[in-house]
Amino acid sequence: MKNPNERRIVAVIITTGIASVVTQLVLIREFLSQFQGNEIVIALILFSWLVLGGLGTRLARSAADSRFATRPALGWLSLALALLATPTLVAARLLRDLVFTHGASVGFYPTFIYITAVAAPYALLIGFLLPVSLFVLRSERPDYSGTLVYIWD
């Protein structure tokens, strides 16, 4: 890792990983407090997060040869991710009372749909950002191992 650009991209990957974990933990805590905190809510959050992250990764495949696989685009996407964390957490807190009757016990499917809808923008972008980071690294060094990106994350 002698290239300064590579160091910067690795720093973005590490920062993305930290932000992802922190945001996910705060979202889990917020959803637990809103939906009478039980294991089903945790399972729904983790399931939604993993599926949405996987969809974001799948969408990134189409970005391999496009304008998204550049250092400036990676920078803008990382900035968008940083700016998206707060609105996601605010939406998780404020939208529940607008969507559901205050004080009502919410069923399984409405809870699942709400959690998925609130987490979708952030989780999709997280899933999209890591492969794009790999594509940018490989544009500068074609033999760069994809495993390293997920280790840094």
The domain segmentation of the chain, as residue ranges, is: 4-152
Cα distances from 57 to residues 21, 25, 64, 94, 124, in angstroms, run 17, 21, 11, 29, 8
The pLDDT score that the predictor gives to residue 2 is: 67
The pLDDT score that the predictor gives to residue 91 is: 93
The pLDDT score that the predictor gives to residue 1 is: 57
Nearest to 116 by CA among 9, 39, 31: 31
Look at the block and give the residue holding tokens 């033999």.
143
Alpha carbon distance 22, 44 (integer Å): 18
Which residues of the chain fall below pLDDT 50?
A: none
Cα distances from 84 to residues 1, 19, 70, 94, 102, in angstroms, run 30, 11, 21, 15, 26
- Neighbouring CB atoms inside 10 A of 125's CB total 23
The pLDDT score that the predictor gives to residue 153 is: 80
Contact 84/22 with Cβ under 8 angstroms? no
Instruction: Considering only CA atoms, give the Rg of the chain.
Output: 17
